[in-house]
Chain A
Amino acid sequence: MDARTQTEQIRTDPDLPPVAVLERGPMPASRRVLFTVVAVVGAVAWSVVALVRGEEVNAVWFVFAAVCTYVIAYRFYSRLVEAKLVRPRNDRATPAELHDNAKDFMPTDRRVLFGHHFAAIAGAGPLVGPVLAAQMGYLPGTVWIIVGCVLGGAVQDYLVLSISTRRRGRSLGQMARDELGRFGGVAALIAVFVIMIIIIAVLALVVVNALAESPWGVFSIAMTIPIALFMGVYLRFLRPGKVSEVTVIGVALLLLAIVSGGWVAETQWGQDWFTLSPVALAWWLAAYGFAASVLPVWLLLAPRDYLSTFMKVGVIVLLAVGILIARPEVQAPAVSTFASSGDGPVFAGALFPFLFITIACGALSGFHSLIASGTTPKLLEKESQARPIGYGAMLTESFVAVMALITAVIIDQHLYFAMNAPAGVTGGTPETAAEYVNGLGLSGPPITPGEIERAAESVGEESIVSRTGGAPTLAFGMSQVLSSVFGGSGLAAFWYHFAIMFEALFILTTVDAGTRVARFMLSDSLGNIGGPLRKFRDPSWRVGAWICSVVVVVLWGAILLMGVTDPLGGINTLFPLFGIANQLLAAIALTVVTVVVVKKQLYRWVWIPAVPLVWDLIVTMTASYQKIFSSEPRIGYWAQHRAFQDAKAAGEETFGVATSPEAMDAVIRNTAIQGTLSIIFAVLVVVVVAVAAVVIVRSVRAGGLPTTEEPDEPSRIFAPRGMIPTAAEREVQALWDARERERATTGAGS
């Protein structure tokens, strides 16, 4: 250790060992060398990614650029945020220590809590968004995923976690009400609810698109339900508490389900039973969401969650190792022509603002603020650990998004567009799709229908044309990477369905947990209206639970059905709405954070949350504006609406991609709903931000306002500041361990 480092031990009770260690001093020379090396490697990697053109770019450079940036950002920027805004004090007890009940409040080992928090924030979003964004080339997506996370997403997660920790782990909705007042709070609550509905619907749409007409996929996913039920019963009645044991059994059954899916899909009865149309699948999903919402947690939700956590961590590690070993070459251009023209088939609109809407999770995800408030703060051992957990877990998620982007840019670009362009333009067959993508002016030799067919065959699917939604493309890229490392082309079909299963599992976990959460939000809100509705507040009132579940499922189910049957292709009309919703939630979270910072008069550093907030507002408001007011039918919902209405009024029976009067009516109806939703989202967020602005002005005039932080309570436990304990912290830990041993022996003697 450097001789100039000053160490101070902090005690809150003379009878206890120190509860915290403060270390001050310049960075040791060895560390300076290390960070210099990391910075140089990062700079080289970024230059390769940004400047080299053509086939020479290897995907490994993306990994280096990302990891080096994360290391530097974590060591320097997150420390700045900590020192200037968060100012954690480890001699202060966290809610977990203060209200420890060994259930929802309990001090949890920082490494374990990191795993919990990461598993809760990471879902299908960071996997799907980057795949869709790959239509603009690899560079814009990579830059936004990494820079957006470091300056925006990770800052949001970290700060929300910190302020919630100082408020007994209150939820974002409660904090919005506390800090913004009743009106702003109600607007925030409604916004959270509506946003949740659209997010569930769009994720469900991704699953439907991945599983429709795929008996292999449907069979494997369907099998996860009996597997989860078995695990639930096993844990409840046979061997309570043996969670990892049952998870290992569950994962083994899951792998068996994937393998046997291939056999089932070969048989006639398998094809008859498990080939489902998108509409049928949508109905099944809605039924599943309802069942998951009303069934007890132990039976379905908890075991699924174990499986999903296990798969999440496992697959991400597997993919990272695969990319590093396979070192695939990038096929996509750095910046495609669709970035500026805005007429790409995957989603409409130019790079600004729609790239930042499409890659929502992975760079900045508002949904995380619901996890970072409420759940994780109640488990935090020490305030300073919010940095590795809040900031650190988001960096990890951003890394997952970078890997998802890699899987999309290493596959043949003609194939990429054949998979991701809606059926309305590809025509749905290999012949028409080949003709369509060869006309896009992509680099590389044109694709033949035979090549598209062979690609589908190689992964054990009937067709891969217009399998929109991102999940099939990611699975295709993943199977390419993983089969080149493990098992060769013979296992390509297994890896494809493995990846599909992994994404579907994520999404179903979000769908069932989300339906439940939304159901509770609805019943709480109804109960708060009072009168005869007060009964809804009682969570054990089954009728109320059923009613609220039905309402929630009908809301997202209707949007899902609308997307599934949309003649324009559901993903490219609905995904922007999903992205906007998520980014608006981030705006609400960052607004709450900014208000807290202003109330505490930390004016000099208010830019830390304010810069991502302003950027996010510019992006989402521009996108909302274009979605509502653009006269270009491809972009504006209402322009599309009017175009179809005019066509109908003129007596046309077909118009654009709509080939029947019913299809035209569907477009007219869908665009009206989507346009209305865009308006609702934007208005709610404008209300929240306006209320916040009033509070900020009032606070600045008054010279700061009180916040709702809990009073300080001295801590009586010890834990290291960060992930890795320092030498001085190990010494203190040894004191606590010795004390524990002594108590154990005297306890046994008495």
Chain B
Amino acid sequence: MSVRRALAALVRAGRAVHWYTTTLLGDHDYARYVAHVARVHPGTDPGSEAAYWRARHAEQDAHPGARCC
């Protein structure tokens, strides 16, 4: 019983780490954007994932963010 509980806790922790790293790095950004478009401009085509990242990077090209020392 306690082994099973420990395993479940381990799985939960693993999922949390996975969620955190993928969200931090930006894996879910496109899905978020699609949801955003569906909410704010319903009916418009959000475009492909490749197009979304192209636009994101073009944006970063035009507005660089600083990194600290």
Contacts and interface: CB of A to CB of B under 8 A. Distances in A.
Asked if A pairs with B, the answer is: yes
A143 to B, nearest CB: 22
B23 to A, nearest CB: 5
Given A102-B33, A241-B27, A123 B56 contact: no
Given A103-B59, A240-B50, A517-B64, A203 B24 contact: no
A243 B66 contact: no
Given A104-B59, A297-B60, A517 B24 contact: no
Interface in B22-69: 22-27, 29-30, 32-33, 36-37, 40, 48-50, 52-57, 59-69
Interface centre among A102, A243, A298, A539 (most CB of B within 10 A): A102
Contacts of A578: 69
Contacts of A123: 67-69
Contacts of B25: 243-244, 247, 306, 309-310
Contacts of A235: 53
Given A102-B33, A121-B68, A109 B60 contact: no
A582 B49 contact: no
A167 to B, nearest CB: 17
Contacts of A540: 62
B20 A115 contact: yes
Contact of A367 (B49, B55, B66): B66
A243 B59 contact: no
Interface centre among B30, B55, B56, B65 (most CB of A within 10 A): B65
A302 B66 contact: no
Contacts of B30: 240-241
A365 B68 CA distance: 9
A104 B64 CA distance: 11
Given A116-B24, A309-B24, A361 B69 contact: yes
Interface centre among A104, A237, A297, A509 (most CB of B within 10 A): A297
Contacts, number: 125
A514 interface: yes
Interface string A83-118: 000000000000000001111101001011001100
Interface residues of B, number: 35
A242 interface: yes
- What DSSP secondary structure best describes chain B's contact surface? helix
Contacts of B64: 297, 513, 516-517, 519-520
Interface stretch (A369-377, A402-410, A429-437): A369-377
Contacts of A122: 68
Nearest to B57: A298
Contacts of B22: 243-244
A623 to B, nearest CB: 18
A199 interface: yes
Contacts of B61: 296-297, 539
Contact of A125 (B40, B53, B68): B68
A132 interface: no
Interface in A576-614: 578, 582
B49 to A, nearest CB: 5
12 contacts: A103-B55, A106-B36, A240-B48, A240-B53, A241-B30, A241-B53, A298-B54, A370-B68, A371-B65, A514-B67, A516-B64, A517-B66
Interface of A: 100-104, 106, 109, 111-112, 115-116, 120-125, 199, 203, 235-237, 240-245, 247, 296-298, 301-302, 305-306, 309-310, 361, 365, 367-368, 370-371, 374-375, 509-510, 513-514, 516-517, 519-520, 539-540, 578, 582
Given A236-B53, A520-B63, 11 more contacts: A100-B40, A103-B33, A111-B20, A112-B23, A122-B68, A240-B52, A241-B49, A244-B27, A310-B25, A370-B66, A513-B67
